[in-house]
Chain A
Amino acid sequence: MTLEGHNITVAYDHRIAVADVTLSLKQGEITSIIGPNGAGKSTLLRTLNGQLPRSSGAVLLDGEPIERLNRRSISRRIAVVAQEAELRFPVTVVEFVLGGRFAWATHSGWGWETERDVDIAESVLRETELSDLSARLMNELSGGERQRALMARALATEAPILLLDEPTANLDLSHQATLLSLVRARCDQRRAAALVVTHDINLASEFADNILLMKQGRTVHSGKPEQVLTPEILHDVFEIRVLVDAHPVTGGPRITPVHEPISVNRDSRSV
């Protein structure tokens, strides 16, 4: 299972969102995309999923151009975790998670979940610590629990490629780690490949095998965390001074932003 993007360019009415980006997701590895707001990270992820059209370049899923594959065969291989679920209808957690089995149904519209579908849903609910909440309604959950349910649904697809867009945004410290450990486990045990878009550089440093640093639609650097996460590179991209030292436990790069006081006159700040 491979997902590759070659020279991807995406433009919206004359604005270039992604410019000539090439990347390849490797089995068993987590690749993290970091970069300032508006760098084109989410756009790139949506292009790799076949949702957004490219201006040029190619996306290959197992060597085949993605636009030639039908939705269900893509969805059996690529799962996306984003933050979109609109919950205006009362849906239980287990119903929500079973949605992940849609692409495996023999009929696209009708059809019922098989025993296997239910087993898979139960097992991912256990993995994401949601078993006790399975009969609850999604809109009764906290933001963090809901984010775990989104993750559970993605895992339920059993897709070997995971694309995650800010998966930890609503999570507290312990659940951030739990969630990325789940991704790590999929990569280690089932040879899955994951792409994680995140703003949390330290989390990327800890969990990612490769980091793709983007700015204004372009790849600025890519490589191992210790190659990419250097004070010089981060200063160039984020325009902020950072300290990089060794994480006391993992030994990987640890990033500390250094906030310099903004020089504005006192009167305007005192409001």
Chain B
Amino acid sequence: MNRVTLRKTIIACAAMAAALLLAIVLMSLLGSEPLPVRASLCALASFGTNACGLTQDQFDILFQIRLPRILLAAAVGGSLATAGAGYQALLRNPLAEPYLLGISNGAAVGTMIALVFFGAIEWTRPILAFSGALLATLAVYRLARGRAGATPERLILAGVIVTTFLSSVIVFVTVLMDATRIRSFTFWLLGDLSGASKTLLPVTIVIAIAGALALTLHARSLNLLMLGERDAFDLGVEVGRVRIVVFLVASLLVGSSVAASGSVGYVGLVVPHLARLSLGSDNRITIPAAALGGALFVIVADTVARTVIAPRELPVGAITALIGAPLFIYLLRRA
């Protein structure tokens, strides 16, 4: 029978986890400063003890700059792809994506308020980003919901309204900043992984993993919710409760990733779509596969972003949008 089983899920996730691990190792060797392959692999395998012949500079590049950045890319990618899959099931629409719906902008406004008013206190950023994402999610949900759920047109329009409104809020706050910070800030808005903060990185990783698990644990309910709230209710899903869980978890994922890296767009669209294309629509496999695939996707995109015009860098959001926008058009035409 043509359906997803636990066995298939475990095999697919194990294969993707292996690919992710491989990508983390390989991508940490790539960059504007070439590192000796054998010594770097040896240092990575011994978890950061430098007995492998790397110079102190090389060692620092590997462990202080590249590895934290790659881990942040993984956490951000996993978070955004998981959140995308969650929003898609909740809004019953494969076009739902945190960046396109303005939810990333909501989180960005929250982060900016934290930067401007509580600049020194780092942990206020994810908290305010989460609040911003949550408010933006509620706004989109209320605007997009019609009698037949969120139709593609209505959802996109709701996203446009929320995005443009929040963009103008962002412009207002930017004006309040001093000129020297505006450039780095603009870069951050487009999605920038270079600023991996020592304190926020572990938080971002923990939230990414916990969020993916939380949504995976509701995957079977989401499978039914995806086909209509009334049907899901009839079949025994506690629709109200599941809806709140997805709202909270997805907003938390978007909030923490935006606070750490700005708005990396289209990850939540591209990755769940590829997961469904190759593995089917069952959220019990789509969500964990999207989480792992998102991590992989952003690691690779960020490696491209920091190497194509090295020593200068592109914002990773520019790379993901370059891939995501054409796919979005394709999906929209089909819907």
Contact of A109 among B219, B233, B282 (CB under 8 A): B219
Chain B nearest CB from A103 CB (Å) reads 3
Roughly how many angstroms separate A90 CA and B152 CA in the complex, as a whole number?
A: 16
Taking CB atoms, residues of chain A closer than 8 Å to B236 are 71-72, 74-76, 102-103, 108
Cβ A85 vs Cβ B227 within 8 A: yes
The segment from B1-9, B42-50, B313-321 that touches chain A is B1-9
Q: Residues of B contacting A88 with CB < 8 Å?
A: 92-94, 152, 335
CB contacts under 8 Å to B, within A86-115, are: 86-92, 94-96, 98-100, 102-103, 105, 107-113
Do B6 and A90 have beta carbons less than 8 Å apart? no
Q: What CA separation (Å) do A153 and B234 show in the bound complex?
A: 11
A99 touches B235 (CB 8 A): yes
Contacts of A110 in B (CB 8 A): 216-220, 284
Interface size class of B (residues with CB under 8 A): 35 or more
Name B's interface SS.
Answer: loop
Contact A102 B220 (CB under 8 A): yes
A87 interface neighbour in B218, B227, B237, B284, Cβ under 8 Å: B227
Contact B276 A118 (CB under 8 A): no
How many chain A residues touch B (Cβ–Cβ < 8 Å)? 42
Shortest CB-to-CB span from A219 to chain B, Å, is 24
B60 lies within 8 A of chain A by Cβ: no
Name the distance in Å between B236's Cβ and chain A's nearest Cβ: 3
Are B216 and A89 closer than 8 Å at their CB atoms?
Answer: no
Q: Does A9 contact B (CB under 8 A)?
A: no
| Distance between Cα atoms of A82 and B93 in the complex (Å) | 21
Contacts of A72 in B (CB 8 A): 236
Distance of A74 Cα from B335 Cα, bound (Å):
35
Is the CB–CB distance between A108 and B221 below 8 Å?
A: yes
How many Å from the CB of A256 to the closest CB on chain B? 35
- B238 neighbours in A (Cβ, 8 Å): 70-71, 108
Interface centre among A70, A86, A109 (most CB of B within 10 A): A109
Inter-chain contact A102/B235, CB cutoff 8 Å: yes
Chain B residues closer than 8 Å to A122, beta-carbon distance: 1
| Cα(A99)–Cα(B216), bound, Å | 17
> What separation, in Å, do the CA atoms of A9 and B77 have in the docked complex?
51
Which residue on chain B has the smallest CB distance to residue A138? Answer: B227
Pairwise interchain contact A82-B2, C-beta atoms closer than 8 A: no
A-chain residues with CB within 8 Å of residue B3 when the two chains form the complex: 92, 94-95, 98, 113
Residues of A within 8 A of B2 (CB): 92, 94-95, 134-135
- Closest approach, in angstroms, between the C-beta of A32 and any C-beta of chain B? 20
B226 contacts the other chain (CB 8 A): yes
Task: Judge whether A75 and B235 touch: CB under 8 Å.
Answer: yes
B227 and A100 contact, CB distance less than 8 A: no
Q: Which of chain A's residues have a CB closer than 8 A to the CB of B4? A: 95
- Interface presence of A51 (CB below 8 A): yes
User: Distance (Å) between the CB of A152 and the closest chain B CB?
Assistant: 13
Given known A51-B233, A79-B234, contact A99–B219 (CB-CB < 8 A)? no
Query: Chain B residues with Cβ under 8 A from A168's Cβ?
Result: none
A88, B230: Cα distance in complex, Å: 16
* B234 pairs with A75, CB closer than 8 A: yes
- Set of chain A residues within 8 Å of B223, measured between Cβ atoms: 95, 99
A85 to B237, CA, bound (A): 15
CA distance A102 to B284 in the complex (A): 13
Residue of B nearest to A163 (CB): B234
Contacting pair A86 B237 (CB below 8 A): no
Ordered by A's residue number, 26 sampled pairs between the chains whose C-beta atoms are within 8 Å are A71-B233, A71-B238, A74-B236, A75-B234, A75-B236, A82-B231, A86-B92, A87-B227, A88-B92, A88-B152, A88-B335, A92-B3, A94-B3, A95-B2, A95-B3, A95-B282, A100-B235, A102-B220, A102-B224, A103-B236, A109-B220, A110-B220, A110-B284, A112-B5, A112-B6, A134-B1
Q: A95-B3, A112-B6 are in contact. List 4 more A-B contacts (CB 8 A).
A: A49-B234, A70-B238, A88-B94, A134-B1
Closest 3 CB pairs of A and B: A75-B236, A103-B236, A135-B2
